[in-house]
Amino acid sequence: MYTWMDRRPSIWYVYPIHHKVSFNLIAEQHIRQIRKKYKVQKIEERGFLHVTPRSSPFVIVHPLLYICGKNVERFAFVRGFMRRVIGVEVADSNRVSMKAVTICNIADALIVPSTWAREAYIKSGVAVPVHVVPHGLSEEFYKPPMEPENDQLKFIKKIKKERNYIYLLFFLWHSSWRKGADLVYKVTERICKERDNVVLILKGSSLSINSTLAFNEQKTILVTGWLSNKDLVALYDMCDIYLLFSRGGGFELNGLEALARGLVVVAPEKGSWTDYLPKESLVPIARWVHPLPNNEYHIGLGGEIDTEKAVDKILSIIDDLDEWKARYREYAIKAREKYSWDKVGEILLDVIDKYY
């Protein structure tokens, strides 16, 4: 027996199914939203360019550059068998290469998560329409304060209460230079010398942490391994100030997540995060640098936070922390209202509807 679900129009969604990276996590949320209106067939990225479709499918490719850049000629060929192709991408700097532009212009449209990213593609010469569809917040971010289930997190929360610690939080998943790990080290070293009760919580993979500068172990607690969404929220809830020191990035979801749980976020005044951060979060930049040196797609610049001004800002926040946190609880309410995945899904479906 057929239902209306069976009669929905169909979409191919191409993405890295078996590789847990940020692209995978965002793609899964996109698919969840798209399925409210369309049938979705998941396509593993590794097989996409080896298929010659005969059904003239509507295709979303995420991420477009790294999947289709492996063989641009083949992508141009198989594109002729597809009714529509929408690429999903980010811009880690303020400019993309001519190869990236060529790939994007083979598609019918591009989806990016921020106005920063949109401007980067347009200024670089992308001629197809570029639409902004931000990232969203998972349902756990809408729940009351979370108690951790992870034993390490339980201990971290326990000693904070016992010793009256103030926790700075920094996520380092990969690309330590782009994420500003060296800047975090420089700033937190100064902060911890001036305030005995300040500790950095450094969350990331063992590989990413080992690949950067050694942090002062007496003032840093390392958190490695995969956290459940509940423990991730519990980690945010036990921290006070989030250091978004990235030199580039298409959105930086951790900054939005921190804001949504009421952390005071400190970030450079130039970048994709200015879409969602209040002005009080922003610190002047010291210079423009390459966030991803030698990258074949993201060849532009990003703003590097002024570490001296960041130190002054963070010390002033620490000295009046209750007032700052009260203010950011109000910002958290607004962020949760605007960036739920259901609201983001409406934006995403509006874009798809334009081309289907």
Find all residues with CB under 8 Å of 307, minimum gap 6, and list them: 183, 186, 187, 286
Per-residue model confidence (pLDDT) at position 43: 94
- Which of 132, 61, 138, 107 has the alpha carbon at shortest distance from 348? 132
DSSP string, 38-56: SEEEEEEHHHHTT---SS-
Which domains, and CATH codes, for the chain?
10-136+341-355 (3.40.50.2000), 139-338 (3.40.50.2000)
Q: Which residues contact 53 (CB under 8 A, 6 or more apart)?
A: 12, 78, 81, 82
Return per-residue pLDDT of the chain as tens, 356 residues: 345 455 678 999 999 988 767 788 999 999 999 999 999 999 999 889 998 888 899 999 999 999 999 999 999 999 999 999 999 999 999 999 999 999 999 999 999 999 999 999 999 999 999 999 999 999 999 999 999 999 999 999 999 999 999 999 999 877 889 999 999 999 999 999 999 999 999 998 655 555 444 555 558 888 888 899 999 999 999 999 999 999 999 999 999 999 999 999 999 999 999 999 999 999 999 999 999 999 999 999 999 999 999 999 999 999 999 999 999 999 999 999 999 999 999 999 999 999 99
The pLDDT score that the predictor gives to residue 198 is: 95
Residue 218: the pLDDT is 57
Give dist(CA 135, CA 260) in Å, integer: 13
pLDDT of residue 6: 58
Element (H, E) at 119: helix 115-124
Is the Cβ–Cβ distance between 269 and 282 less than 8 Å? Answer: yes
pTM: 0.93
- Other C-beta atoms within 10 Å of 197: how many? 12
Check residue 23 and give its pLDDT.
87
pLDDT for position 154: 95
User: pLDDT digit string (tens) for 226-264?
Assistant: 899 999 999 999 999 999 999 999 999 999 999 999 999
Run of H or E residues at 76 = helix 72-79
Residue 198 CB: number of other CB atoms within 10 A?
Answer: 20
Give the pLDDT confidence score for residue 213 in this predicted structure.
45
